[in-house]
Amino acid sequence: MRVLPLVMCAFLSIPVWCEEGDVEDLVNRGLEAYRAGRKQEAADLLQKAASLVQKEGAQGLASFLPPAPEGWTREEIDSQSGTWGSGGEAFQWTQAAVDYHHGEDHVRLTFSSSPQLIEAQRAMVDMMQNEQYRKAMNMDPNRSVDLFNRDGWAGMTQIEKGGDASIMAFTDKLMCQIEVQSGAEELLGQFADLLDWAGLAASAR
C-alpha cells in the first residue's frame, strides 16, 4: 500500500508576489487600507503577506532535507505552498520534497505542514495504536507494518516484500514521509537516520 503524496493538485497553489517590503510592512499596509475602507486593496496586501509567510515556511522545511549520502545524487528540492478552499473553509499548506538516486535505488523525502490535512492523514496512523488492528495489517506475509516513534514524532513504518517501504510520521504540525521504491528496509533506516527529527519538529511553532 503506497502512501499518497499530501499535495496532489498543482492548481491549488496561489502565486507568490514579488514586492518590496517584508511581511510586517504588508500587514500594516493591509490594516491601514482596511481601516480606510479600501477592502479589496486590504485583501490583496494581506494575501501577499500570507504568501510570503508560506514561502518562508517552505524554505524552512527545505533546509532540513539532508544532502545526498556518499555515492548518491540528490535532485533539486521541490518547495511549494498555497491555499486550498476559500472563505472560512480555506486552509494553507506548505511542502518541501526531494528525490535521491543511487543506481536502481530511489528514495523520496517529503515534509508537509497543514493542520487540516495532517489530521486527516494521521487518523490511519492512530488506528495503528490498536494491537488487534496491527495484527490484522500484518496477516499478509508479504507486508510488515509497525509503529514508529522518534524524537517527538509518532507514525508507522510499512515494508512491502518486493515493493515499496515507507515511514509516515507526525508531530502536531508536521508530517514526514520517507518512501523507498525498492522496498529495502535498510535504506529506509539509513535515510531515517539522516534526518534531524528533533530540530525539524522544533522548527514548526
Domains of the chain, by residue range, sit at 56-203
Q: Which amino acid is at 7?
A: V
- SS3 (DSSP) at 37: coil
Q: Which amino acid is at 131?
A: E
Burial level of 17, CB count in 10 A (0-12/13-18/19+)? middle
Q: How far is CA 183 from the centre of its chain?
A: 21
Q: Which CATH number fits domain 56-203: 3.30.160, 3.40.50, 3.40.1000, 3.30.750?
A: 3.40.1000
Per-residue pLDDT of the chain (205 residues; tens, 9 = 90+): 444 343 333 323 333 333 445 867 766 776 777 788 787 877 666 666 555 555 555 557 888 999 999 999 999 999 877 665 555 555 567 889 999 999 989 999 999 887 777 877 778 778 888 889 889 989 998 889 999 999 989 999 999 887 899 999 999 889 999 999 876 888 999 999 999 999 999 887 6
Q: Which amino acid is at 12?
A: L
